[in-house]
Chains A and B, each alone.
Chain A
């Protein structure tokens, strides 16, 4: 296993590369797809278009959903950039998101259920929060 230091360097490199690709090709895909069914984890072959590694980053968004201001955009670096090169906020507070190998997405609020794209993921988080504010999670 690599050390933490090595891991960080590797992840940062990946994230920067993905973010760059996302900027270069401003994503035609991901128009408000509904959440993937929780039980359907077979047949994800159709998600190449959402896969940051193939050069098509997820589509940025900035909207009001259920009274919450939700923003998703390519991450430009820093600690938000670790997982998939995409950063999401709800009312200005970071929602930790991560991309799976098959191109689907999860967040710290819905961590065991996959969603087709960050917008569907973020809307699901708003539904689950029922008005509560996200708080930063202390990590060692």
Chain B
């Protein structure tokens, strides 16, 4: 059973193995399929129509399933690898070790936002951006540029305190835990982190940056933490909701998994704390 750890606690060997597995998925073409899938959902999920991956209750179970599938691909390369999570309330500066040359590399250079350090720099020849919204083939970041601060622990705690999972109209206008965590209203957690990183992470093709997985792994952990804090609060809605994935509806693109199947992550992995 995989144990997902805080990225700040990984050993040098664990970092190296994780990076190697990412590069191998990239080389095989498998990585880019995840980027493409994510972008297709982000472009089609809409507040007034069918919505599955984002701006809807299934944001959390959809990404949980997406991460499990990605983690399984990594483990096919190296069975010792598990997804790490990035607690951006703690490791919140542009000089944190997550951005070191031995892990994800740093921010982009001022001229064109191109990441030039670490294993995903364009000059390595191993990380070309193939699924893109524009013509630039290199990974970009502008850490802390479009928005100055990452969310604080106090802001996270204020969202974890919300007792209701989600509320009508089940979209970006909703109150409740899911939408405040996603960030379309309130203190803005998940969305703000995408914006803070900048580059591809601010776009529909955000999984082009490997930090996507560490960010979403922490969002997934916050869902698990919330469940533990509110054991009697169910996933909502329970049924018969147009355009929205109810508890026992199957989710695209898999069509064989429901939010109910995703509520207990311990069947697939555990967290280090």
In whole angstroms, how far apart are the Cα atoms of A114 and B119 in the complex?
32
- B15 contacts A by Cβ under 8 Å: no
Q: B203 — which chain A residues lie within 8 A by C-beta?
A: 108-111
Task: Looking at the assembled complex, report how far the CB atom of B118 sits from the nearest CB atom of chain A, in whole angstroms.
Answer: 21
Q: How far is the CB of A91 from chain B (nearest CB, A)?
A: 11
Q: Is B172 an interface residue (CB 8 A)?
A: yes
- Tell me if A50 is interfacial: C-beta within 8 Å of chain B: no
Tell me the smallest distance from the CB of B121 to a CB of chain A, in Å: 18
Which residues of A lie under 8 Å from residue B242 when comparing CB positions? 2
Measured between beta carbons, the chain A residues less than 8 angstroms from B204 are 96, 108, 111, 137
Whether A1 contacts B50 by the Cβ 8 Å rule is yes
Q: Which of B3-11, B71-79, B92-100, B186-194 contacts A (4 or more CB under 8 A)?
A: B186-194
B245 proximal to A (CB < 8 A) = yes
Per-position 1/0 for B234-262, Cβ under 8 A of A: 00000000111100011000000000000
Given A42-B186, A137-B39, A140-B40, decide whether A112 and B134 contact each other with a Cβ distance below 8 A.
Answer: no
What 0/1 pattern do residues 33 to 54 of B give for CB contact below 8 A with A?
0001001101110111110100
Type the 1/0 row for A31-65, where 1 means its CB is closer than 8 Å to any CB of B: 00000001101100000000001000000000000
* Interface size range on B against A: 35 or more
In the complex, are the beta carbons of B146 and A137 less than 8 A apart?
no
Cβ of B243 and Cβ of A2 under 8 Å apart? yes
Q: Are A111 and B42 in contact (CB under 8 A)?
A: yes
Contact, CB under 8 Å: A39 / B135: no
* Contact yes or no, A7 B49, CB < 8 A: yes
When C-beta atoms are compared, the residue in chain A nearest to B194 turns out to be A112
Q: Which of A21-29, A68-76, A97-105 contacts B (4 or more CB under 8 A)?
A: A97-105
Q: Can you name 21 A-B residue pairings with CB atoms under 8 Å? A: A1-B243, A1-B249, A2-B242, A10-B49, A11-B50, A39-B192, A41-B183, A41-B186, A53-B48, A96-B133, A100-B172, A108-B42, A111-B42, A111-B206, A112-B191, A112-B192, A112-B195, A113-B191, A128-B202, A134-B133, A137-B39
Instruction: Give A residues with C-beta under 8 Å from B.
Output: 1-2, 4, 7, 10-11, 14, 38-39, 41-42, 53, 82-83, 96, 98-102, 108-114, 128-130, 132-135, 137-140
Name B residues whose Cβ lies closer than 8 Å to a Cβ of A. 36, 39-40, 42-44, 46-50, 52, 55, 112-113, 131-136, 146-147, 169, 171-173, 183-188, 190-192, 194-195, 202-206, 242-245, 249-250
